[in-house]
Structure 1
Amino acid sequence: MALPVTAALLLAGCQRKPAVVTLVRADTAARNDYYISNRAPLVPSQFVKLPAGSIVPGGWIRKYLELQRDGLTGHLGEISAWLEKKDNAWFSGDGTGDHGWEEVPYWLKGYGDLGYELGDKKIIAETKRWLEKVFESQRPDGYFGPAVIPDKAKDSIPDLWPNMIMLWCMQTYYEYSRDPRVIPFMTAYFKWENTIPEDKLLTLYWENSRGGDNLYSIYWLYNRTGEKWLLDLAAKVHRHTADWMQNGNLPNWHNVNVAQCFREPATYYMQTGDSSALKATYADFHLIRNLYGQVPGGMFGADENARPGYSDPRQAVETCGMVEQMASDELLLGITGDPFWADHAEKVAFNTYPAAVMPDFRGLRYLTAPNMIVSDSKNHSPGIQNDGPFLMMNPFSSRCCQHNHAQGWPYYAEHLWMATPDNGLAAMLYNSCKVTARVGKGDSVTLEESTHYPFDEKVKITVHSAGANEFPVYLRIPGWCKGAKIYVNGKALEHSNTPASYTRISRTWQDKDEITLELPMQVSVRRWAENKQSASVNYGPLTFSLQIKEHYEQADSRTSAIGDSKWQKDADATKWPAFEIYPDSKWNYGLELDQADPAKAFTVVKKSWPADDFPFSQQHVPLLIKTKGREIPSWTIDQYGLCDTLPPSPVAVSTPEESLTLIPMGAARLRISAFPVVKGQSQ
């Protein structure tokens, strides 16, 4: 069932003039001829993920992936005890040994994709070493991996949650390698899973919450084999997954579960076509944000679990929650076609996630908040829910996030472009890259994208084709962007490019044809009425934070790690130090705003692009915003060692007006992103 389509045909019929159409969703009357999409009776795919390796990232995304490779992700096998191969249940080949839970598949899920995207032979070979052991571990009954039997499991049914993650590793590996063993491997496993009695399926907390990941893998396999019993299994899994379709409530309020599991109803919608399931995913998204997400950066303040009364922007979210939210947004793009999910993926990716890791990607912290003026090893509970050193930048710590962070940028890069039902390509998330895919009547083309987005307004796409090739190109127009302009070979298309839609350009493309997209950015101010009338400052998709001078103090990673952390006995803590970050400048400022025209108070300063292609550090941000503000002396560090909760705006102060510099939120490891609004004596 296709979702509603709005189309305005402006130019057609002449090869020299492209046909240009505005779409709010893709037209799913056709099915892509070259890439596997939903098979009937599943709801047709709006957009189709390209196989891993189809997109070669460039620009700052590539730089970020290289930092991952050279930093924590690429070297975690030397640090984490969970990844040590000796006596490892994931590497034993028969499921025996230790460390048989989520850590290995969490890490491998991003690590392998990192290798596929960078074409890194060493990473690909290491990924395959682990996966060979997973293949080897499959029992005659179809179960694979460690036979982890939790204390509360009924009749010795293993915990299915870690296997859900490993299936995703297998799926991407298959897309990249076409290894013929993957399909029968997954088929045998799901046949085993189908034998689990109804009353014993998904009874444990994590597997019960996260059954949607299992569901997605079943559909992935069904789309490749068409075996009808898989749909019966999918219905069974949905019945025993936590109910994410409650009206005004969630089955639990764990931040990662919410970011990951709210998409489960939309996933099941693909089988039923029931719009109430699709609506439930949207309702869950907005529910958590209405209650705990009245803050900039796209996430919500749950620390680990959301708590009534704790919704200030100093409340944090796990790094796991950020990368799972990005993955949910990317998957929902394909399921729903709604450009809203691309806008939101960018919001989290640009503003929240980069600050959760060290600029050199050699450490991360468990929790990051929109307002955060210290990142240390102290216990800040109950100001944050977690009891321990949960704000520390530490490569030895944070167990789940230490491994699960790996998927963030690789999954994002895999969704820069997607295939369309009408054999075209859609630019979903803008970044420099090259995408190679079959289009039109089956010929392969490469589209080369060059941009500094979101730090610049211009995106250039160059067609590389052996000959003339007729196919459509979809360009997503972000919801925040008014007045977008598109040029083909330097000639403007006379078309109104509607925000929160796609502009579809269909023509016969020639080698070296160029598309130029201009996305004008303006300063805007958002007032958070439900959070003390605070204000945040945006420029296009970027949110800005107060520039706070950051003082880094090195510490021993072992002595400052969270209690359940484990590391290898030979891990060199001097090579992988932890860091505390303290403010070396005042942070307790409010903004002065012109009530009639709030954006009037801000001046955008554009700087040269960083030579190292990395814009998410204080020293090299290519954009600044200058404004005015006043110190709020009563807004201080509280008894928990955190910045105190926001004072209600407007705040009357007698302090002098000062010039303030704001930097992109993603480059600020210490930050004030939700500002009080001040009213000085002179006003």
Structure 2
Amino acid sequence: MSDFRFSRRGFLHRFSILGLSGSFALKHALALSTDDESATKAANKVVKNRAPLAPNAFYFLPLGSVRPSGWLKNQLEIQASGLGGHLDETWADVGPNSGWLGGKGESWERGPYFLDGLVPLAWTLNDQRLQAKAHRFIDWTLKNQAANGMIGPASNNDWWPRYVMLKALTQYQEYTSDPRVIPLMDRYFRYQLGELPKRPLRDWGKFRWQDELLSVLWLYNRTGSAYLLDLARMLRSQGYDWVAEFADFKYTQRITRDFIKLDEDHGLRDISLATHGVNNGQAIKTGPVWSVVSGDRNDAAAASRMISELDKYHGLPNGMFSCDEHLAGLDPSQGSELCTVVEYMFSLENSLAITGEAALGDRLEKLAFNALPGTFTDDMWAHQYNQQPNQVECSLHHKPWTTDGPESNLFGLEPNFGCCTANFHQGWPKLVNSLFMLSSSGVSDAGDGIVAAVYAPCEVRTVLRQTPLHIVEETGYPFNGKIRITVNPASPLAFPLHLRIPAWATGATVQVNGQSQPQPTPGAFARIERTWRPGDRVEIAFPMKPRVSRWFNDSVAVERGPLLFSYGIGETWVKLADRGMTADWQVFPSTQWNYALRVDTDDPSSSIEVHETAVEDNVFSEKHAPVRLRVNARKVPSWRAEDGVADAVPKSPVSSTEPDEKIDMLPYAAAKLRISAFPLVKSE
């Protein structure tokens, strides 16, 4: 195998990317899983951390235990009908000539990225067509392991893309119990342990080591092989020390190309990789994941410290930090890369499970219900590389990006760079698997319970202390605050049910079978311990009063529950080019957008009208948005755009002699052109 270095931008120039051609004869007859078969697979016992690993606060339920319903299932179905389910048919990088199918095409991260989202999407939806697509990549990898244990295309030996393939394989094994996966991983990890002293981590692999650590610990918990803990320590010793970086965070300003010397060493200097958005999104889980090995509570707390520092210097109203593609400061006209959104979500899901910190669930919801859908077209046939909270035009301009190119906020097949095209698919299906978790007593299974970690319509089938348990969650959340959870054990069963109470949910109420429970504490988990019987109902009511939060230049954003609201600018869509089954689009404003809000920041509800409608399908579209706000505003003529980018938000408060207007605000993701951070009108 040849040894080589490359940047993400330079990779495609080093390989010949051939056109999509030919077809595959399936080697497996795949039967669509029935509900009973799915329930049987889901009944597999939760695999907890083996000694000497520290226990998690929570554990993910076996994959397949949680199934989406309502609007959430609709989002996965839209994804399956869009690029998520057809990408290999229209994009050569994951098509029949992919190096991860034995071809001579793209052989680095894109095949594994695609599979990492395709597997949970296919099995969550019980979609036979998508499962067949996933099997092509999985079977090639499982059947073509080298004699020395290496996996993947022989055209490169970079450790990094194997991290992603291992993530996909662990998910696939949990869904199917395929007996080939664990032996392959064992051979690969033994090979890697012997190779790392001679060929240590570097570049992307050095900065993303925590992603492989998850797979190493996954295998250790199933086999108990001691060498895996040696491998875990070697990964940490060779990997970048993210915890130390954020203990003394130095990257507090907008990063420039010159500052990180991006044009030297293929953009792979440590300072470039340390300030890279996706690396930071993946890094947030580093401390918690390593704490499972170290047992150090300071490591476990590192995720919250990292989030706090990123918020302080680069935070945006949609829950993201700016990264277009490197850290970019607080201006809401800066963007965030889609890969960072889904990797940040994955980090939060794992960190929440390990630490049990409720605030991580709050942030996960904010990303999932704003930043994730906010970067797709309604049909998910096109996406952006970068999204902006203040996004007044999507066109071919170099501004405002720190290190990205002029296609960055276009909607299309692979704007700017194709990593997000392959990687965005993991967002929704992995969220489904994180909705409910198992709480662990840390001593024996007798104290285990169920955790409602994130709220969305779904149902759960699992087994708790040998008793089948069926849970149904019915809700229009996050568009309204009513949640009903029906608990159906096969026979009476005593266990604690933990309900995450968001930090914003002051005044939340909880009832069980119509009887009020103690007032829950915002920003914590409410615990209900009782003997549950079939048909028991838990009803949660979260107050959904509008809130005003402060951002860059004392600007204001309007929030309600986990949703951010934006002024939706009129949109004119102009096709730039056809791209196989999809197209690339520019979007130009057709209405003015330069408003300042007139709201009572001390009592926002007194000056903001709320209008709710039924929660149906395609909830993140302008047409079907289930909730809208109406606020008073005035135009600020001096606030303009240059080269398609809104100038920095004028510092609040601002004076305006323009007449008062009533403007409508939509959930952030429903407005493809939008203002989300506004100046505040000076009191008269």
Does 2:63 align with 1:55? no
Q: Using the alignment, how far apart are the partners of 1:357 and 1:667 within structure 2?
A: 10
Which residue identity does 2:392 align to in structure 1? I
Match of 1:193 in 2: 192
User: What is the Cα deviation at residue 599 of structure 1?
Assistant: 4.3
Is the Cα contact below 8 Å between 2:400 and 2:645 reproduced in 1?
no
What is residue 567 of structure 2 aligned with on the other side? 546
User: Are residues 641 and 385 of structure 1, via their aligned partners in 2, closer, same or farther at CA, if it must alter by over 3 Å?
Assistant: farther
Q: Distance in 1 between matches of 2:492 and 2:603?
A: 50
Q: Counterpart in 1 of 2:17?
A: none
Secondary structure, aligned partner of 1:577? strand
2:500, 2:526 within 8 Å by CA — same for their partners in 1? yes
SS at match of 1:661: strand
Report the CA distance between 1:669 and its aligned residue.
1.1
**Equivalent residues, number:** 611
Q: What residue number does 2:512 align with?
A: 488
**Shift of the alpha carbon at 1:33?**
10
User: Does 2:506 match 1:502?
Assistant: no
Q: Is residue 556 from structure 1 mapped to residue 577 from structure 2 by the alignment? A: yes
Task: Report the counterpart of residue 25 of structure 1 in structure 2.
Answer: none
After TM superposition, the structure 1 = structure 2 runs for residues 360-509 of structure 1, keeping only pairs within 5 Å, are 360-376=379-395, 378-397=396-415, 398-421=417-440, 422-439=447-464, 441-493=465-517, 495-509=518-532
CA–CA distance in structure 2, aligned partners of residues 434 and 460 of structure 1 = 11
Tell me what 1:22 maps to.
none
Mapping for residues 119-138 of structure 1, pairs under 5 Å: 119-138=126-145
Could you tell me how far apart the structure 2 residues matched to 1:84 and 1:666 are?
30
| Deviation of 1:197 (Å) | 4.2
Contact 2:467–2:491 (Cα < 8 Å) also in 1: no
1:420-479 CA-partner distances (Å, limit 9, x unpaired): 21332111111111100111x311111011101011111111123332222222111111
Divergent runs of 4+, >6 A? none
Residues 617-664 of structure 1 show CA distances to partners (whole Å, capped at 9, x for unaligned) of 1111111111111101011111x3211111111111211111111111
Match of 1:258 in 2: 280
- Residue 248 of structure 1: aligned partner: 249
* Residue identity opposite 1:91 in structure 2: L
Q: Match of 1:12? A: none
CA contact (8 A) 1:148 1:159 kept: no
What CA distance in whole angstroms lies between the structure 1 residues aligned with 2:184 and 2:602?
63
Q: What's the offset of the Cα at 1:598?
A: 4.4
Equivalent positions of 1:25-64 (< 5 A) are: 34-64=45-75
Q: Which amino acid in 2 is paired with 1:615? A: V
Contact persistence 1:425–1:473 (CA under 8 A) = yes
Relative distance call for 1:278 and 1:124 in structure 2 (3 A) is: same
SS of the equivalent of 2:596 reads: strand
Question: Counterpart of 1:217?
Answer: 215
Q: Cα offset for 1:34?
A: 2.9
Trace 1:633-652 onto structure 2 (pairs within 5 A).
Answer: 633-638=637-642, 640-652=643-655
Distance verdict in 2 for CA 1:402–1:248, change over 3 Å? same
CA distance in 2, matches of 1:524, 1:450: 25
In the TM superposition, what whole-angstrom CA distance separates every residue of 1:69-97 from its partner, at most 9, and x where no partner exists? 000110001111111213x32112xxx63
Match among 80, 105, 116 for residue 69 of structure 1: 80
1:347 aligned partner: 366
Cα distance in structure 1, aligned partners of 2:349 and 2:309? 20
The reply to whether residue 655 of structure 1 matches residue 654 of structure 2 is: no
The answer to which of 314-323 and 239-248 deviates more is: 239-248
Give the deviation of 1:46 after TM superposition.
0.8
Q: Which residue of 1 aligns with 2:550?
A: 527
- Higher helix proportion, which one? 2
Contact 1:383 1:642 in 2 (8 A): no
CA displacement, residues 111-140 of structure 1 (integer Å, 9 cap, x when unaligned)? 111011111112112212210100012112
TM superposition shift of 1:596: 4.7
Q: Report the CA distance between 1:587 and its aligned residue.
A: 0.5
Contact 2:399–2:645 (Cα < 8 Å) also in 1: no
**1:341-383 deviation line (CA, Å, top 9, x unaligned):** 110000111111111000011110100011101112x122355
Q: Which position in structure 2 is the counterpart of 1:679?
A: 682
Unaligned 5+ runs, structure 2? 1-42, 252-270, 441-446
> Displacement of 1:266 after TM fit?
2.0
- Partners of 1:594 and 1:601 within 8 A in 2: yes
Match of 1:581 in 2: 587
The code of the aligned residue for 2:249 comes to: G
Cα distance, 1:609 vs structure 2: 2.7
Return the TM-score normalized by structure 2.
0.87
Alignment partner of 1:505: what SS?
Answer: strand
TM-score between both structures, scaled by the size of structure 1: 0.87
Q: Which moved more, 1:67-76 or 1:483-492?
A: 483-492
Unaligned runs of 5+ in 1: 1-31, 150-157, 559-571
SS of residue matched to 1:200: coil
Alignment check: 8 A CA contact 2:82 2:380 kept: yes
**Post-superposition shift, 1:181?**
1.4
Aligned equivalents of 1:225, 1:98: Cα separation in 2: 35
Preserved CA contact (<8 Å) 1:329 1:342: yes
Structure-1 separation of matches of 2:490 and 2:320 = 44
**Pairing 1:513–2:536 present:** yes
- What's the counterpart of residue 14 of structure 2? none
Moved more, 428-437 or 250-259: 250-259
- The residue that corresponds to 2:268 in the other structure is none
CA distance in 1, matches of 2:132, 2:400: 45
Within-5 A mapping of 1:16-27: none
Q: Tell me the secondary structure at the aligned position of residue 525 of structure 1.
A: strand
The 1-side partners of 2:614 and 2:176 are apart by 40
Does the 8 Å contact 1:628/1:657 carry over to 2? yes
**Which of 137, 148, 153 is 1:146 aligned to?**
153
Distance 1:392 1:78 in 2: 22
Deviation at 1:543, TM superposition (A): 1.2
Is 2:393–2:589's contact at 8 Å kept on the other side of the alignment? yes
Deviation at 1:183, TM superposition (A): 1.1
TM-superposed deviation, 1:595: 5.4
Aligned residues of 1:101 and 1:148 also touching (Cα < 8 A):
no
1:174 aligns with 2:158: no
Deviation, 1:40, is 1.2
Amino acid at match of 2:452: A
The one of 295, 302, 310 equivalent to 1:280 is 302
* One-letter amino acid matched to 2:577: D
Aligned match of 2:236:
238
Distance in structure 2 (CA, Å) of the matches to 1:463 and 1:280: 35
| 2:13 paired residue number | none
- Alignment root-mean-square deviation, CA: 1.7
Is 2:599–2:608's contact at 8 Å kept on the other side of the alignment?
no
CA contact (8 A) 1:396 1:557 kept: no
What CA distance in whole angstroms lies between the structure 2 residues aligned with 1:518 and 1:312?
35
| Distance in 1 separating the partners of 2:401 and 2:671 | 21
Counterpart-to-counterpart distance in 1, 2:196 and 2:326: 31
Q: 2:123 aligns with which of 93, 116, 122?
A: 116
Code of the residue aligned with 2:223 in structure 1: it is T
**How far apart, in 1, do the equivalents of 2:53 and 2:145 lie?**
29
Q: Is the 8 A contact 1:292 1:300 kept in 2?
A: yes
